[in-house]
Amino acid sequence: MSRLFCKQICAWVLCGFLLVVASACASRKPSWHFEHLKQYREVSDKGWWYAIFRINWPEDTRVSMHTDVCLAHQVLSPILNDQKDNLPLWRFHRRAARDQAGHQFSFIFYASPETADQIFNSLSTNSLLAEMLDTGVIVQISCDDTSIITKPNIEDTSDPSWSPEIQKSWPYFIMGVSQMWLTSITELAENNPCEQSPSSLQQMLAFYQSIDEALKELWQEEGRHSLLHHLNAIFGYEPVKLNKGDILFQF
């Protein structure tokens, strides 16, 4: 066997080996997987549910945003603690406008119908909510029908005008914001306790009005750096495009 022929055979073998290695690398799955996102897209036994509290807002009066704070801390925080293992995603939504919806505070969560039933049952038997309804502080409480899952996908409660990437990722962002807001309420309440426990609903709401004022001060004094600056930093300090007439901060 000539040396030239041996060299040709070795070259062929080497080329074949490299092709096998390249093929294996090309077909190998990447080592990083977003299983915590994937699993919620694949399962169909969970969905989004709403509990909406419509709060009284008489004409010619200031909106009582502190009622949201009271509901979050006194009613929903204990539920979140009890159901934390069953709530992969949740958030608060606040709105107040002089329209048909008016002032509403919403608890929105992603869970099984069984978990939603437990949460809605807890709300229906809550004595503070019952008193708020009886005294007219809350006008109406609406909870979703759990007999059918109408919003099974992660993106189903995001703004449909957003890109698919933002629709699917935004629920994780707003849950973190909601958790931060609720934790701030808890810290303020513990660090600024009432001289004596509130003996009436009016006293409790007055206490949470003071907490709401403290929250506003935290936002005004520290929100720029702690929230807006660091959100901008995560996205590489790129500027945000604004349309004419856009309002960044309102109410």
Q: What are the tens digits of pLDDT across the range 62-110?
A: 999 999 999 999 999 999 999 999 999 999 999 999 999 999 999 999 9
Q: Would residue 28 count as lying in a domain?
A: no
Q: For residue 246, what are its two tokens?
A: 């856009």
Q: Would residue 3 count as lying in a domain?
A: no
3-state secondary structure of 71: helix
Q: Would residue 105 count as lying in a domain?
A: yes
Q: Would residue 97 count as lying in a domain?
A: yes
Q: Would residue 182 count as lying in a domain?
A: yes
Residues in the chain, total:
251
Domain span at residue 237 reads: 34-251
Q: Would residue 14 count as lying in a domain?
A: no
Structurally, how many domains does the chain consist of?
1
Q: Would residue 91 count as lying in a domain?
A: yes
Say if residue 41's pLDDT is above 50: no
Q: Would residue 53 count as lying in a domain?
A: yes
Angle between helices 201-223 and 127-135 (to 10 degrees): 100
pLDDT tens, position by position, 227-248: 999 999 999 999 988 887 776 6
Q: Tell me if 192 sits within 8 A of 219, measured CB to CB.
A: no
